[in-house]
Chain A
Amino acid sequence: MTSDEKLVVAAQEAPEGDTRAFDALVVRHQERVLANCRYLSGSADDAHDLAQEVFVKAFFGLERFQGRSQFGSWVQRIKVNHCLNHLRKRKGKSFLELDDPTLCSAVELQSHASTERDVGHRDMRDRIRTVLDAMPDTLRVPLIMCDLDGFSYQEIADSLELGLSAVKMRIKRAREEFRRLYRE
């Protein structure tokens, strides 16, 4: 049994109001959850609130968690759903279909020139942050889900309500775009 599993059992068996075991789970996962919320939402301002809501949801859903997957993966699913709902509410529209032939020229897929120029002179994490911030949601979100969260293409397709080919195309484009911006 891993430490996470022990802590989950302790949190599930704790009397109401005793959050010590869950606090320990928060400390173990907070940096990753926060990074996900930061880059999925594309907003540093929203990231802390989103991550907080994710952990609160996880706490109140803990009794339904049966340990069939790892706690980290389970929180990941909550986090992705929560961040995608947040994005949908913010944008008020669904994600663009990348298979649309007109999409290559769509404004949403164009990086901002000023941001591109800023990328070159920062340390690695700042550079990654700047590159991701410069990418549109339509490319950044599937890229984060794939390369940071480790979701399969099919899981991403299901979450984003897109076709499998569309997801693969977006990830391909996102990786190309990321590498291009990162090198500059």
Chain B
Amino acid sequence: MNSDDERHHPDRDIETGEAIAELAALREVPAAGFADQIRHSIQRRLFAAQAADFSLHVFLQIMFEYLSAALDAFRGPQPPQHRE
């Protein structure tokens, strides 16, 4: 509560009157297909999230392969193993 409130209404005891009964039952009828729009919107976002996950996974996999190849190249050719 800010100081203005305290200054103008120090006792806080403000009579607000009776509730508007008509508002409690207020409803709006949705347009046809409203629930379908919500479902489609959810499905779109789920698909987008899966696509983003997949892209990230592919990107990380490619980076890993490049890194492995670079490390192999840095080490140079391995000498052949001699068997006893």
Task: Please name the residue on chain A nearest to B41 by beta carbon.
Answer: A56
Distance in Å: Cβ of B11 to nearest Cβ of chain A: 9
Cβ of B17 and Cβ of A31 under 8 Å apart? no
Report the count of interface residues on A (CB-CB < 8 A): 50
Bound together, the chains give a CA A29 to CA B74 distance in angstroms of: 63
* Contact indicator A56/B30 (Cβ below 8 Å): no
Interface residues of B, CB < 8 Å — how many? 35
The listed residue (A19, A101, A178) touching B20 by CB distance below 8 A is A178
Given the complex, which residues of A lie within 8 Å of B38, measured CB to CB? 23, 26, 52, 55-56
Q: In the complex, A164 Cα to B5 Cα: how many Å? A: 8
Residues of B within 8 A of A (CB): 1-2, 4-9, 12, 14-20, 22-24, 26-31, 34-35, 37-39, 41-43, 45-46
Q: Which residues in A have some Cβ–Cβ distance to B below 8 Å?
A: 16-17, 19, 22-23, 26-27, 30-32, 34-35, 38-39, 47-48, 51-52, 55-56, 59-60, 97, 99-101, 124-125, 128, 143-144, 146-148, 150, 153, 157, 163-166, 168-169, 171-172, 175-176, 178-179, 182
